[in-house]
Amino acid sequence: MITRRSSFGLLAAAAFLPSRALANVAPPRSEIRDGLAKRFADEGTAGTFVGYKVDDYLIIASDRERSGERRLPASTFKIPNSLIALEIGVVTDPDKDVFPWDGVQREIEAWNKDHTLRSAIAVSAVPVYQEIARRIGEERMQHFVDLFDYGNRDIGGGIDQFWLSGNLRIDPVEQIDFVDRLRRRALPISKRSQELVCDILPVSNAGSSVIRAKSGLTGREQGSLGWMVGWAEKGGAHTVFALNMDCPGPRQVAARMTLTQACLAEIGAI
């Protein structure tokens, strides 16, 4: 039986990634917009943007190639990591459970303090989420990564490193599929865990629109890849999106959200 969740994944693959098309079903409406690709070039880098306009069942992408390439998720994995932590009780309350600072001075000053889950995801505190992953453990982590059908499902490379420098890979279409299931509270876990993670996701405002999104950035040894994944709410209309881009310098790192907003504006999502 093809559910809305599985059909979205299959149809998106059919639309943009013919090598991964797995079913003989008609694809959703889809468009490639060269103007989106130009925005990355204007920023002096390369990247990809994919947006899924839910109400229109329309996928809009900047390209056909990079949108289907799997890459390290970096800190966008804090979304499933948070879900798993809440689902199994590693965290019971995102505002009350405290992860004490380990006393190690790190370059990002906001990490050098105690954190709750809400404050940790807000500043993308890697050490907190590494501790969460260690508490979850490999067996339970693998179970939920499989359950979520998350990317290539490979958590090799260390329980506190696999999403940063290890074997886990995910492409923008798969990111959208996963985030859309969370947005709809349709993941195969409790509604409570999904509600709490949706509530703690960082929020940005663009005019009257709201963007709920998580950023990600790999280390230089992994290519300095930047991510932004989430969804935009404009009135009652929702658009799920994933952007990744090469971030060779501070300019590109800072441009992840501004480029995301520019792409969302171009497709009428905000």
Q: Tens digit of pLDDT for each residue in 103-125? A: 999 999 999 999 999 999 999 99
pLDDT attached to residue 28 = 66
Q: Tens digit of pLDDT for each residue in 146-191? A: 999 999 999 999 999 999 999 999 999 999 999 999 999 999 999 9
How many beta carbons lie within 10 A of that of residue 2, not counting itself?
12
pLDDT attached to residue 29 = 86
Tokens of 56: 């229109």
Integer Cα distance of 132 and 91 in angstroms: 8
> Residues 33-44: what's their mean pLDDT?
96
Q: Tens digit of pLDDT for each residue in 247-264? A: 999 999 999 999 999 999
Phi-psi region of 158 (alpha: psi -120 to 50; beta: other; left: phi over 0): left
Q: Which residue has the higher pLDDT, 10 or 208?
A: 208
Coil, helix or strand at residue 60: strand
Check: CB of residue 217 under 8 Å from CB of residue 253: yes
Tell me the pLDDT of the chain averaged across its residues: 92
Check: CB of residue 53 under 8 Å from CB of residue 28: no
Q: Tens digit of pLDDT for each residue in 12-27? A: 554 544 334 334 445 5
On the question of pLDDT at 224 being above 60, the answer is: yes
Q: Tens digit of pLDDT for each residue in 56-90? A: 999 999 999 999 999 999 999 999 999 999 999 99
Angle of helix 78-88 relative to helix 138-147, nearest 10 degrees, comes to 110
Active site residues: 75
pLDDT attached to residue 27 = 58
Handedness of CA 223, 183, 266, 207 (dihedral sign): negative
Coil, helix or strand at residue 216: strand
| Residue partners of 224: CB distance under 8 A and separation at least 6 | 217, 218, 246, 247, 248, 253
